[in-house]
Every structure is written in C-alpha cells, then in structure tokens.
C-alpha cells in the first residue's frame, strides 16, 4: 500500500537501550532483531531506529562520522540487513534516523574542510570570518549552550554548530553537499529501508547574510535555563530554501515503492504552521513538532493542535507523539496534574491512539514507563552535564527497556547496562504485564488493534464537541465517538448516537449518561446523529 504511513503507528527504538544481545551492556541490532516479534504482536506498523551509524558518540549518535556504515557497538551491515529482512517478514516497516543538518567533527569531509580555505571540501560547512574585534560573525546561539560559532585556527575562521562544537553544520547552499547527502539516503533505500525520520528538518539552511537573530519578545526579565530560548530564531534556521530541498528528497523517495519521510520540527515559534507547510505538496509525507511533548495537558491544548494543523494545512499530514528520546517521559511530565501513573498511562495511550494523524510510540511508553531519576555521576548526556541541576538532560528517558524481573538487568543484558535500571522502572516490565487485562501493555494492545481495524481512527476527520474542561470529546469520521476525562475528579456527560462500546476505562454508561471517573475514557460506535454535552442533564442540540 503506497500510503501505508497515513494514520500509521510507528514504534521508536532507542537502539542502545532496547536489547543487548552480546552482554556488553549496550543494546544492538541483533538484540532488536530478537525482539521484533514482540513489536509485531503489539500491533504497530513500523519501527524507527535512532542513529546506528558510525559515530564518536559526542551526542549519542547524532554526530555521524560515516553515513553508510554501522557503528561496531551496534553490529554490522550484515546485522542491519538481517534486522530489516526479519522486520519485513513480520509485516513491520523500518524507518531510520537521518542526521543531515550536521556531521561529526570527525567526519572526513569536515577534517578536510577545516584544513584550508581552498581545498575541495572547503565550502562544505558554514565558515565565516570574525568581526574586526575578533568576535563571532553574529549572535547565533547553540542549543547546548553558549555561542553557535567555534574558532578554527587553521582557517582563521569560525564554523557554525547549532548543537555541540563536535557537530559542525553542513553548508546546504552548496549543491554538492545536497547531492552527496541525497546519495547517502539512496544507499539505505537500496538496502530496503522503508523511509527516514529526519532530524531537525528545519535546520538545513542558514541565512546567507548571517543576520543576527532578534530577541524573543515572550522572554521578559527572567533568563531561560538555556539562553537559546531567549532568541527568536529567524535567521539561524527555518529558511525558505528548506522547501525546495525537501522536494528533492521527496523526488528521490518517489523513485522507490511505498517509502515515506517524517521530519522533526526542531523548536519553532510557528511549529504547527510549519508542519503543514513542510508536508504540503511533494515535500515530506508527515512531520512532528514538540507541541505535544511538553507540559501542556488540557482539553483545549490537544484540541488546539489538531484544529490548527488541519485548518491551516488541509493537504498536509502530522505525526503526534507524547514521549521520545529528547523529553521527560509523559507519565512523569503530566503526573503533576494529580493523576495516578497507571491511570494516566492508560488515558494517554488511548488518547494518543485516537488522534487524527500518524502516531509515534516511544519504547516503554506501552508499559507506562516513568522517567528515571539519575545522579550527576550517572549521566552520559552532554545536555544534562551542561545544564545540571536546572535541567537533568535526556538520559532519564533513555534508560534500558525492561523485559522481565531478572535481578541483574531486567532481561535487557547479561552485563552491566550503560545506564542504570532503577526500581520504579524495573517494576514496569513486559513479562509482568503481558496477558494481564488490567495492565497498561494490554490496554495499548487493544487500542492498537482497534485503530488498525477501524479506518475512521486511522484517517477519519475530527469533529470536536464543545465540552468544558477537563472533558475532551470528538468524533472520528462518522464512526467513532471518543470521550476523555483529563482530570483526577469524576465528570459526567450526556451522549446521543452512541452505539456499541469499543473500549473504556474507569467509565460507566447508563442510558444516555456517561460517568467518567478519574482519568476515565470511552470509545463508542457512532449511530446516527451524535452529540456529547456537559453534565447528565445538559440539553442536547
């Protein structure tokens, strides 16, 4: 099916933390292959692997030094091919991360580029002369703190790095750079991958004039924990030249059957609008942002994201996620609402898998996994080390997958895991939830099966009902009524047109009344004219 990606559910694997097959404490490709039947049984359509390319691991693989080979810690190209073949046998698509905006400073092209101003790769990265006082050419900032320019003595110039200094930015204004990066994508397409997750897809081009980014008017007197958030990134990224390059990428993928791309909209003041712009026409197939990966947890918040996208970009297609490898896990993030972890995990799973768009589930999310509380000495993430203790970084969501109750490492490895598995996480293991009808895992399995079997949940348009906080209610297509209570208190609504119950949790229906206990939700078959209104005695129009 050419548009398998539309409404699909992708499971994100963080390879170093999924399954270790050789006992060295690091997850690997052979381990992923071993666990693929679990994912097929779970009911997802595709897997997405965070980077497994050769890398010095300054930023955990998002600093690539060889785009066409596998880092030995994960295995070999043969292991990769075996994993893809097994995934396809099980009916799973395989999507791999592509980090195109920057490379590792150890990449041969950068080593050559930094050597002089007149070598064949001299303009493959973004170089600029200092100002007359020796300072950087402008005020652009790095996401990892401090300025985005690093001095290189050999060239007597600065180079741009939007992330770590070990991650120099490619110069996309050079067509040779574009051509070469597209060739690396072709390499993996020829090996049988079904598509790409594109890291920081709005960072590719920079302003040629190197104009200063203005201050962000939303930041008042108190500085952000990361000064990057104090600028409006008008020139360092989000450039219009990105769009023609996306069209070049789409043209490449269209040479192959049923391939797809999903882009990460990395921090933008207009993320939802840009998601639509990047997925309209012959550009990306789908795109996601961090709008649902933050603290926002209300009926109005979720409704606003869906409404804004499909109103502003009716021809585009979004991907929604609640957790990933860069943010605090949503069960921990939203637990401040006073909700219990188990009930919140089930509510979030049912809500996410009811949304219009494509869906991404992060490993362990289906277990109700929570953020790991790490000490400073346990950190590996450069962001955590840089901004501790105000921000503890991303390692807390990257700790290993827990498969069983084995004392050593919960079935992840026979050796010592690269990040610790602590008690609260170890308690939420696969073996303890599989087959338990009351578990978070079995709720995810039921919801995934329902989404796969119900076309309206995959592609049907969304019609919201005007219920009051904290109740979120909507119709998918003309077939499924979805009602959620996003609070720790009981609320009631009046239903009309609700037929057979599809799935529910902490909810009671009596005639046309639906009582939603804390974190309760229910999905019904729609029959005839449908309405959802506040309260048991509310008038229904």
Q: How many CA atoms lie within 13 A of 444 on its CB side?
A: 32
Q: 513-534 and 480-485 as β-strands: parallel, antiparallel, unpaired?
A: antiparallel
Has 254 been annotated as catalytic? Answer: no
Q: How far apart are CA 461 and CA 478, in angstroms?
A: 8
* Residue 350: φ, ψ to 5°: -65, -40
Q: How far apart are CA 275 and CA 287, in angstroms?
A: 5
243: its two tokens: 């769009």
Residue the block writes with tokens 């770590």:
164
Q: How far apart are CA 145 and CA 398, in angstroms?
A: 21
In 353-394, alpha helices (H) = 382-387
Question: Active site residue: 118, 133, 255, 529, which one?
Answer: 255
Has 512 been annotated as catalytic? Answer: no
Q: How far apart are CA 200 and CA 169, in angstroms?
A: 12
In 53-195, alpha helices (H) = 77-89, 108-113, 175-190
The phi-psi region of residue 368 (left if phi > 0; otherwise alpha if psi is between -120 and 50; otherwise beta) is: left
In 207-298, alpha helices (H) = 242-253, 271-279
Q: How many CA atoms lie within 13 A of 480 on its CB side?
A: 27
All residues at 6 or more sequence positions from 435 whose CB lies less than 8 Å from its CB, including other chains: 442
Question: Active site residue: 28, 71, 97, 199, which one?
Answer: 199
Residues taking part in catalysis: 199, 255
């Amino acid at each position: 099916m050419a548009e398998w990606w539309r409404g699909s559910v992708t499971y994100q694997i963080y390879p170093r933390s999924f399954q270790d097959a050789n006992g060295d404490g690091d997850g690997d490709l052979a381990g992923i292959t071993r666990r693929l039947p679990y994912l097929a049984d779970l009911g997802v359509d595709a897997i997405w692997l965070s980077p497994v390319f050769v890398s010095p691991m300054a930023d955990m693989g998002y600093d690539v030094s060889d785009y066409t080979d596998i880092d030995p810690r994960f295995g070999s190209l043969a292991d990769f091919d075996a994993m893809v073949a097994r995934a396809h046998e099980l009916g799973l698509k395989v999507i791999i991360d592509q980090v195109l905006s920057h490379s590792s400073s150890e990449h041969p092209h950068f080593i050559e580029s930094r050597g002089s101003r007149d070598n064949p790769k001299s303009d493959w990265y973004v170089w600029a002369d200092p100002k007359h006082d020796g300072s950087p050419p402008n005020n652009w900032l790095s996401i990892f703190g401090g300025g985005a320019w690093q001095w290189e003595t050999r060239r007597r110039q600065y180079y741009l790095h939007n992330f770590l200094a070990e991650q120099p930015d490619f110069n996309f204004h050079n067509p040779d750079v574009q051509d070469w990066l597209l060739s690396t994508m072709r390499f993996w397409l020829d090996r049988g991958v079904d598509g790409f997750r594109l890291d920081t897809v709005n960072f590719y081009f920079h302003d040629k004039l190197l104009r200063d980014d203005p201050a962000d008017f939303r930041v008042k007197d108190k500085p952000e924990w990361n000064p990057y958030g104090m600028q409006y990134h008008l020139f360092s990224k989000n450039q219009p030249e990105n769009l023609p390059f996306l069209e070049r990428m789409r043209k490449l993928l269209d040479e192959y059957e049923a391939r797809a791309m999903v882009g990460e909209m990395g921090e933008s003041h207009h993320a939802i609008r840009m998601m639509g712009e990047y997925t309209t026409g012959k550009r990306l197939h789908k795109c996601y942002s961090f709008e649902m990966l933050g603290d926002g947890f209300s009926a109005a918040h979720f409704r606003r994201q869906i409404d804004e996208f499909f109103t502003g970009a009716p021809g585009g297609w979004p991907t929604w996620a609640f957790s990933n490898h860069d943010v605090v896990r949503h069960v921990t993030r939203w637990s401040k609402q006073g909700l219990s972890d188990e009930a919140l995990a089930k509510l979030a799973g049912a809500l996410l898998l009811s949304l219009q768009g494509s869906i991404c589930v992060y490993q362990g999310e289906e277990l109700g996994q929570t953020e790991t509380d790490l000490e400073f000495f346990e950190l590996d993430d450069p962001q955590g080390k840089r901004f501790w203790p105000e921000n503890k970084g991303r390692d807390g969501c990257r700790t290993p997958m827990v498969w069983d109750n084995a004392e050593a490492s919960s079935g992840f490895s026979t050796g010592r895991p690269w990040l610790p598995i602590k008690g609260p996480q170890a308690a939420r293991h696969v073996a303890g939830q599989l087959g338990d009808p009351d578990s978070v895992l079995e709720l995810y399995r039921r919801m995934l099966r329902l989404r796969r079997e119900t076309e309206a949940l995959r592609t049907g348009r969304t019609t919201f009902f005007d219920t009051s906080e904290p109740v979120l209610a909507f119709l998918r297509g003309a077939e499924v009524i979805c009602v959620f209570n996003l609070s720790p208190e009981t609320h009631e609504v009046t239903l009309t047109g609700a037929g057979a119950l599809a799935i529910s949790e902490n909810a009671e229906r009596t005639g046309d009344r639906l009582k939603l206990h804390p974190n309760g939700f229910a999905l019904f078959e729609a029959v005839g004219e449908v309405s959802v209104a506040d309260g048991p005695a509310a008038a229904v129009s």
